Structure 1
Amino acid sequence: MKNLNISVISAGLVLALGAGTAMADRSEWPSSFTVGTASQGGTYFTYGSGWANLVADEIGVPGGGEVTGGPNQNLALVHNGDMAFGMTTMGPAAEALAGESPIAPGVPLDNACAMFPMYETPFSVTVLSNSGIESIDDIPSGASIGFGPSGSTSDTYFPRMLEELGVDFDRRNGGWSDLAGQLQDGLIDVIAFAAGVPIPAVSQLEVQTDINIIEFTQAEQQQIMDTFPVAAFEIPAETYQTLSEGARAVSMWNFAIARCDLPESFVYEATRAVMENNERMVQIHRAARFSVPENYDKNGVLAWHPGAARWFNENGFSIDADMIHN
């Protein structure tokens, strides 16, 4: 009986210590969190708002997505502590680390850490079918082209890409939904999208009117790949009703980011919530089919948050110590 009592007391002490550790970990967590996304009508907004809600449900901390100017602004907001989490692409991330972000020129934004892989962002061109534009070469000189929100991945890279291909244009900015409305009303000629597919604004456009999704030629694709930090990509035919076959494009990887000084256990649980619930993520947006742990190696730019790195390392995806923020 004495031995039994000692065993019961010991077990109770272990449980109490475990509970105390858990309470101590959570005591350092924020009372709520915000995820920086991008404009409404784009993939970032749909995806980011969805994963914020999923994480909030899974870990019991209120959270939500917030409209922002996209990857560059998200890096700055997370770095400055205005938001806990955000979403970015690898090109803007590399520029931000080097102090070359258009949001904060000369200031290395190094307090934003990698959290988990999201998906590839294809760069694609959409026009109305009655425009007569069926290729990049068909875009008339001086055409008004919408490049998304100012400072977004599209706005940062797509104008340079089209200039590289010899296109002369009048640059316009705005949210994707707003630009889609302008295209339909004839106020602009072209939208140059950089967003995970299917892009909500394009899906809505093709329901309301006839559109062309313009692909790059092989030569154009190679020329862009030789000049910019992008890879070859094909937009699958089943992505849009408009496509009868895959469309040649280029793409850049997106990663979720976390403020580097957030508690390790908080980011660990938030990472676990997304990485272990891919079916729910795909229900939020089809681009999340690429949000799987195996794609962790697509990040060669940002240091990993220690909490995120711990989840990956525990689950068989090795992240080197020199790639983990300390």
Structure 2
Amino acid sequence: PAVVAVVALSVWVPSALSAPTIRLSIVTGTTGGVYFPLGGGLAQLISKYIPGVQATAEVTPASADNIRLIDRRPADTIGFVLADTAADAPKAEGVFKENPGRPIPIVTLTPIYNNFNHLVTMDGTGINTIADIKGKRVSLGPPGSGTEITALRILEAAGIDPTRDFRRERLGPAESADAMKDRRLDAFFWSGGLPTPSVLDLATTPGIRIRLVPLDALLPALQRKYGAIYFRSVIQKDFYPGAPADTPTIGVANLLIAHQTFDEGLAYQITKLVYERRPELALVHKEATNITLIGVKGRSPLPFHRGAIRYFKERGIEGF
């Protein structure tokens, strides 16, 4: 009987001490952008390489909603956001002034890749400059998205009023591309990586020749108001078939963020995984090849999570 008791105990104890599965949500964006496939790839890698964690990617309208979701679910949610949207959350400014009406203590795990602001149109719309959107049908992105926030700032810099100068739509990139195919939309704003699947889909649609409108002339006005969070970038024509030329535009960084109370050990493991498994992540979307430790400290307007800081210190990254 004593032997049986010992055997029974030896079987029972490991089961009792085994760690429960952590169910982690990665809030991403719409299905037509880069956030969602990249988040799906990251979720697979986390589930594969971090013991006791099961991660899934969650479709959302993107940046602003992602920040609010992280605020409501601080222990089990991380997500992708645009740096310009994220900068407002800890100060309860911009879209966060009324909802939730208080500071949201988000922190950076790591910058990821840069977004390129697209103003997408096509031959036959008569749109060659941003001023030409007056009187047209134009989507500014989903409600509460980083695209919408940035588009409104770009329009302000251009002196264009979205309430009266054009017919405003609030569609995601996939819906916008479909509307343009059906000639129900003349142009749409999109802030995304290269190539963005829905823009690529539009560019490869028979009978459609896309055009990307240059936005770089508005950069000085944006920087005067918002600082170096915006920078000059170029959408090379090779990313989208039929684009007639490289398009100078405005760039903004993307961040992988968490709540400041998010578990330090898990934050460390996720940050480490992003860099050490980057080649696997790049198989999901090529923008992952642009995740780099070079200048990492200066690419986020937010403080860094203490778990991420631990990883960057281990790597000897300057500034940590």
TM-score range, shorter chain: 0.7 to 0.9
* 1:151-190 map, 5 Å: 151-167=144-160, 168-190=165-187
What residue identity is the alignment partner of 2:202? L
Aligned-residue offset at 1:88: 1.0
Counterpart pick for 1:126 among 105, 120, 144: 120
Aligned-residue offset at 1:124: 1.3
TM-score normalized with structure 1 length: 0.83
> How large is the RMSD of aligned CA atoms in angstroms?
2.3
TM-score normalized with structure 2 length: 0.84
Distance in structure 1 (CA, Å) of the matches to 2:72 and 2:110 = 20
Q: 1:314 to 1:54 in 2, by over 3 A?
A: same
Describe the superposition over 1:104-124 as per-residue Cα deviations: whole angstroms up to 9, x where unpaired: 2531001x2210111111111
Describe the superposition over 1:182-228 as per-residue Cα deviations: whole angstroms up to 9, x where unpaired: 11111121111111121111011111142333232653343444344
Asked if the contact 1:312–1:319 (Cα under 8 Å) also holds between the matched residues in 2, the reply is no
* 1:119-268 map, 5 Å: 119-139=113-133, 141-167=134-160, 168-209=165-206, 210-216=208-214, 219-228=217-226, 229-268=229-268
Aligned-residue offset at 1:166: 3.3
Extract unaligned runs of 5+ from structure 2: 1-13
The aligned length equals: 295
Asked if the contact 1:278–1:292 (Cα under 8 Å) also holds between the matched residues in 2, the reply is no
- Equivalent position of 1:62 in the other structure: 54
- Equivalent position of 1:90 in the other structure: 83
Asked if the contact 2:216–2:232 (Cα under 8 Å) also holds between the matched residues in 1, the reply is no
Of residues 302-311 and 236-245 in structure 1, the stretch that sits farther from structure 2 once superposed is 236-245
Structure 1's consecutive aligned runs of 4 or more residues displaced over 4 angstroms after TM superposition are: none
Asked if the contact 2:216–2:250 (Cα under 8 Å) also holds between the matched residues in 1, the reply is no
- Equivalent position of 1:284 in the other structure: 284
Distance in structure 2 (CA, Å) of the matches to 1:154 and 1:296 = 23
Counterpart pick for 1:53 among 44, 66, 79: 44
Aligned-residue offset at 1:175: 2.2
Extract unaligned runs of 5+ from structure 1: 1-19, 321-326
- Equivalent position of 1:8 in the other structure: none
Aligned-residue offset at 1:262: 2.5
What residue identity is the alignment partner of 1:304? F
Say which SS state the counterpart of residue 257 (structure 1) adopts: strand
Asked if the contact 2:141–2:170 (Cα under 8 Å) also holds between the matched residues in 1, the reply is yes
Distance in structure 1 (CA, Å) of the matches to 2:215 and 2:60 = 33
